[in-house]
């Protein structure tokens, strides 16, 4: 009841400004309403975390400071830690027996030097609650709130991706914009992202197995 009241209050407060707001903001509010209908408390909270990219604190090695990482950042990093010798995109699936199963694929940039002190960016494709998303997980935060990304597929897809509050995560629009981006990634001879941000421009990912790896995601998200 508390969560429902909060969402209702936010809706009433924000409705006048949302009429002329960005489409992504309207979609986010709609998805928040969908989250409240989930029966499981744990999954309901997870849904809200995903919609709003709620940051989570992780202590640094020195133990003196903490960095606020969004749940998506943590999920992608954990996926890559379990990669082993696998190449290309690796598939993760939660609760395979459920029609609302969560699916996410990750791949780390291949053109980052092994001598680098930080890991390369991670590209994560997800399907949660039957909604497709594309997210770029960054090793260092950026200050830009909006970044232009071009994907060299057939056709080339250029989109404005939005940074979360932490600066460690970029995301495309949910749903159709994400699907368009993924289709371009599948068709690209070489998956090299182009951007107006130096740390993101020219980042390359191994997409050789993407067409096959993404099939479970396409089935659950129905595209």
Domain boundary among 31, 52, 73: 52
* Judgement on whether residues 211 and 112 belong to the same structural domain of the protein: yes
* Judgement on whether residues 113 and 210 belong to the same structural domain of the protein: yes
Query: What are 197's two structure tokens?
Result: 């941000």
Name the pTM for this structure.
0.72
Domain range for 48 is 1-52
Q: In CATH, what number is assigned to the domain containing residue 208?
A: 2.60.40
* Judgement on whether residues 48 and 90 belong to the same structural domain of the protein: no
d(CA 122, CA 130): 22
For the chain, how many structural domains are there in total? 2
Sign of CA dihedral 39, 43, 49, 50: negative
* Judgement on whether residues 201 and 128 belong to the same structural domain of the protein: yes
Q: Among candidates 41, 39, 71, which has minimal Cα distance to 55?
A: 71
Residue 27 pLDDT more than 90? no
> What is the rounded average pLDDT for all residues in the chain?
81
* pLDDT tens for each residue of 103-159: 999 999 998 765 555 689 999 999 998 999 999 999 999 999 999 999 999 999 999
User: Which of 56-70, 83-97, 128-142 holds the top average pLDDT?
Assistant: 128-142
SS3 of residue 64 by DSSP: coil
Domain boundary among 52, 72, 90: 52
* Judgement on whether residues 188 and 158 belong to the same structural domain of the protein: yes
Domain boundary among 12, 29, 52: 52
């Amino acid at each position: 009841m508390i969560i429902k009241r909060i969402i209702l209050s936010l809706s009433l407060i924000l409705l006048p400004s949302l009429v002329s707001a960005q489409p992504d903001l309207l979609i986010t509010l709609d998805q928040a309403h969908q989250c409240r209908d989930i029966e499981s408390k744990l999954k309901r909270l997870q849904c809200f975390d995903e919609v709003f990219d709620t940051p989570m604190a992780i202590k640094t090695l020195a133990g003196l400071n903490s960095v606020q990482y969004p749940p998506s950042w943590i999920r992608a990093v954990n996926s890559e830690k379990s990669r082993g010798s696998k190449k290309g995109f690796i598939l993760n699936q939660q609760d395979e027996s459920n029609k609302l199963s969560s699916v996410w694929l990750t791949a780390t940039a291949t053109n980052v030097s092994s001598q680098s002190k930080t890991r390369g960016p991670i590209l994560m494709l997800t399907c949660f609650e039957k909604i497709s998303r594309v997210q770029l997980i960054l090793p260092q935060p950026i200050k830009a709130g909006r970044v232009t990304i071009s994907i060299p597929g057939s056709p080339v897809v250029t989109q404005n991706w939005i940074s979360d509050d932490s600066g460690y995560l970029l995301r495309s629009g949910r749903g159709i914009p994400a699907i368009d981006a993924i289709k371009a990634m599948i068709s690209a001879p070489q998956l090299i992202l182009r951007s107006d941000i130096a740390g993101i421009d020219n980042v390359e990912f191994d997409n050789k197995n993407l067409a096959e790896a993404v099939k479970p995601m396409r089935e659950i998200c129905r595209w």
